[in-house]
Every structure is written in C-alpha cells, then in structure tokens.
Amino acid sequence: MRALFSWLLETGRLRVDPTAGVKVKKPKTRGFLEWDYADIIKYEQHWSIGTSPKGDA
C-alpha cells in the first residue's frame, strides 16, 4: 500500500499519505512446512506427470 500511496503523491492524485507513520507488525511464523517423502509420494499419486493442480494442462 505504501508504494501505491507514494505513487499517488508523486503524481499529484493525493495530498496526504495515510500510511505515513504506520508501523507494520510482521507475523511470527516458521514459514512453509517442508514436505517429507510421504507428502511427495501422495502429491505425485494425485497429480500425475503432465497434469496441473489448476486443471489447465
């Protein structure tokens, strides 16, 4: 959002940046869980080579 409001200020479409002075709390997370071998096998059994999870292949 800050980039958007910065651009709006630069182009004169906005006079005040509502994000100025706002601090963002970063969530505490370990990130994505790593797959183990069983997860990989399960995925490959469900999605054979050449298919797409989106169903467009």
Q: What is the pLDDT of residues 8-45, one digit of tens each?
A: 999 999 999 999 999 989 889 888 999 999 999 999 89
Gap between the Cα atoms of 2 and 23, Å rounded: 11
Radius of gyration of the chain (CA): 22
| pLDDT in the model for residue 27 | 87
What pTM did the predictor assign? 0.44
pLDDT tops 80 at residue 48: yes
